[in-house]
Amino acid sequence: MVAHKSQLARSCDRCYSLKERCQWNTDSSRCERCIRLNQLCQTKRPTKKPGRPTRIHSVQLSSPRSPRILPSPRLQQNTSDSAISIASTERDELGQIPTSSDVAQFSPIQRLSEMGHLSIPERDLLELRLLKDESMLQFIIGPSFHNEHREYLVSHLVTFVETLKDGYMACALSWTGDEPWPQIGDCYQYAASALSTLRSVEVKDAQGMSLCLALGHAILTFSLRLRANDVLAICRQTLTQIKHTYQQDSARKLLSAGDIGALNYIGLTDLAESLLSGNIPTIRYRICTENTSYVDCYIGLCTSLMPLYYDLGELSHSLLQASRRIVNDETLATEIQKALGELEITIRNWRPNVPEGFTTRFTTTEVLEMLSQAKAMQGAALLILHRLRYPFGSEDTSARAMALDILTQLDMTIRVTKKPIVCVGLQVLVACLELHSDAERAQWLNNISPDGMSTYSEPFNDRIKAIVTAVWVARQQSSRIYWYHLGNTIPTLL
C-alpha cells in the first residue's frame, strides 16, 4: 500500500523527538542540525494515519516562558510540613507542580527542548556535552546511573533555569575541546557570572540547599577542566553556604539521590584539597539517607568513609598547629597520637555497605570499579595516617607496600574493565608520593591520564603530576617532611 502524502515524515527522528524545525540543504543526506552535531540522520518512526489524530485528554507542558516544576523524587514522596512548604514555594514562583504522569510522559531531552530560556545552540550544547551517555561516563561510575543523573541535571535546570543556566553553560563549554561554538559566549564569562550567582544564593531550607549544590556542582566541573587551582575555593564557597542547613536532620533527609551525589562530588574534592593544604575540611559529612540500598554515582560504596577522611583532615591540621609551637605540649601530643591510633583501627575495620542485589543491580564492570575504588580509598586513608606518624623517608618499606597495593589494584581493574575509574585522583597522588626509583616514577606518572588512573582532564592530571614531582624534589632536600607539611612544601600548586 502506497503511503498518502500526509503520512510521509517531513523531519528526521531526532528533530521530531525534540520538536525542532528540521532544515535540509539541497542534495544533502542529513539535516542541518544532525550535520552540526555529527549525528546519524534518519527517519524510521512509524508513519501516521491520514486525517486528524484522535483527541485524547492528556496533560500539556506549560509555555516555554513558564517552565514546569520537576521536583526531586524525595520531595514528591515526602508529605511532611516542610516538604509541602517547599512545594508551595516552587508553585508560587514558577507555576503548577506536575503530576508523576507528567514526568513519565516526557523524557529529560524533550523537557529541555521545551525551555524558552535557552537558544537552540545552547540546548544543542547542553544535550551534547552534559546529557549524552558518553559525556556522563567521564564523571560517573557507569551506565546504571545514567538515567537518574540525566534526570537530576535536567529537572534542576528546568526548575531553576535563571539561577543555573550560566553554570551549566560554563560546564558544557569547558568540555567542548577544540570544537568551536561561535554562537555561544565564552565559558569564562559564564563561569564568572555563575560564581557571582552562587555567592548570592540564600540557603534556608532543603530547596535552597539543593539549588546551591547543583550550581556548585556545575562550577566545580568547569574548574576541574580549566581552573584546577580554584577547586578548593569553589568547594568552600558552596559547602559554607549550605553548612547551617545541612546540619539540620530534617532538611538533610529531604535531599534526593542526585543532591547527595552532588554533595559527595563537592565534598570529596574539598576533603582532598584540605588534606593537601593542611586545612580542616569545610564540613563534617553526615549520612543523608536512611536508604540502605543507596549507592553513589561518583564514589560508589565509599559514602561511609567520608566522615573518617574528615577526621584525618582535622588531625592533620592539629599536628600542623602543634609543630609550629615553640614549646612542645606533651599532653596535646599524647592526645593526638591516641586519636590517630583509634582512627587507624576504625579505618582498618571499615567495610563498605554492600546492598542486597548489588551484583545484579549493576554491571560487572561497575561492580569491579566500585570495589576497586573502595579498596583504594581505604588504603589511601591508611597511607595518609602513616605519614602523619612518620616523615617521608622513614618507615618506607610498609609505606611502599601500601602504595603499590593501591596502584596495582587500580591498574588491574582498568585493564580488565577497559575504562578509567572515577574519583581516584587523591588515591593515585597519595600512592605515587611513595615511589622511589626514576623508572618506577616514570611508569606510574605515565598512567595518570584520562584513559588511565585519573579522569576529568589533562590540566587536572598535569596538576597531580606537578604536585607529586614537587614532593619528590622536596624529599631529596629534607628528611623531616610529614604529611601535614605538604601545604608549606608546595604552596604554589595548592
Same domain, 327 and 420: yes
Q: Can you tell me the mean pLDDT for 134-153?
A: 87
Report the distance separating Cα 311 and Cα 256, nearest Å. Answer: 26
Same domain, 271 and 353: no
pTM over the 0.75 mark: yes
Per-residue pLDDT for 480 more than 90? no
Same domain, 120 and 171: yes
Burial tier of 182 (Cβ tally within 10 Å: 0-12, 13-18, 19+): exposed
Same domain, 329 and 457: yes
CB 276 within 8 A of CB 268: no
Same domain, 174 and 266: yes
Sign of the four-CA dihedral 232, 233, 238, 243: positive
Considering 3-17, 115-129, 218-232, the range whose residues carry the highest mean pLDDT is: 218-232
Residue linked to cell 500526509: 6
**48 assigned to some structural domain:** no
Per-residue pLDDT for 455 more than 60? yes
Q: Can you tell me the mean pLDDT for 174-187?
A: 67
User: Domain total for the chain?
Assistant: 3
CB 238 within 8 A of CB 220: yes
Same domain, 353 and 314: yes
**62 assigned to some structural domain:** no
**293 assigned to some structural domain:** no
Note the pLDDT tens digit of each residue in 388-444: 999 999 999 999 999 999 999 999 999 999 888 999 999 999 999 999 888 998 888
**Single-letter amino acid code for the residue at 85:** S
Sign of the four-CA dihedral 257, 261, 266, 267: positive
Q: Can you tell me the mean pLDDT for 169-178?
A: 79
Angle at 13 between CA 124 and CA 70, to 5 degrees: 55
Per-residue pLDDT for 351 more than 90? yes
**158 assigned to some structural domain:** yes
Same domain, 120 and 240: yes
Q: Can you tell me the mean pLDDT for 58-69?
A: 29
Sign of the four-CA dihedral 280, 351, 383, 417: negative
The confidence score (pLDDT) of residue 181 equals 61
Q: How big is the chain by its Cα radius of gyration, in Å?
A: 25
Same domain, 33 and 152: no
Q: CA 82 → CA 170, 205, 256, distances in Å?
A: 33, 9, 15
Report the distance separating Cα 276 and Cα 271, nearest Å. Answer: 9
The confidence score (pLDDT) of residue 89 equals 38
The confidence score (pLDDT) of residue 27 equals 75
Q: Can you tell me the mean pLDDT for 378-383?
A: 98
Structural domain ending residue among the three candidates 231, 258, 287: 287
Q: Long-range CB contacts (< 8 A, 24+ apart) of 235-238?
A: 235/266, 235/267, 235/269, 235/270, 235/273, 235/282, 236/270, 236/282, 237/195, 237/198, 237/199, 238/198, 238/212, 238/213, 238/266
Q: Where are the beta strands (DSSP E) in 32-76?
A: none
Report residue 211: phi and psi, to 5°: -65, -45
Same domain, 443 and 403: yes
Same domain, 366 and 280: no
**294 assigned to some structural domain:** no
**Single-letter amino acid code for the residue at 373:** Q
Same domain, 103 and 251: yes
Q: Long-range CB contacts (< 8 A, 24+ apart) of 383-388?
A: 383/430, 383/431, 383/434, 384/275, 384/312, 384/316, 384/430, 384/483, 385/312, 385/340, 385/343, 385/344, 385/347, 387/433, 387/482, 387/483, 388/312, 388/315, 388/316, 388/319, 388/340, 388/482, 388/483, 388/484
Q: Can you give the residue range of the structural domain that contains 275? A: 73-287
Burial tier of 193 (Cβ tally within 10 Å: 0-12, 13-18, 19+): middle
Q: Residue 300: beta bridge partners?
A: 296
**63 assigned to some structural domain:** no
The confidence score (pLDDT) of residue 478 equals 80
Same domain, 355 and 256: no
**361 assigned to some structural domain:** yes
**53 assigned to some structural domain:** no
Confidence at 242, pLDDT banded by 50, 70, 90:
very high
Note the pLDDT tens digit of each residue in 191-207: 999 999 999 999 999 99
Q: Which three cell numbers stand for residue 260?
A: 547527595
Per-residue pLDDT for 71 more than 60? no
Among 250, 170, 171, 172, residue whose Cα is nearest residue 209: 250
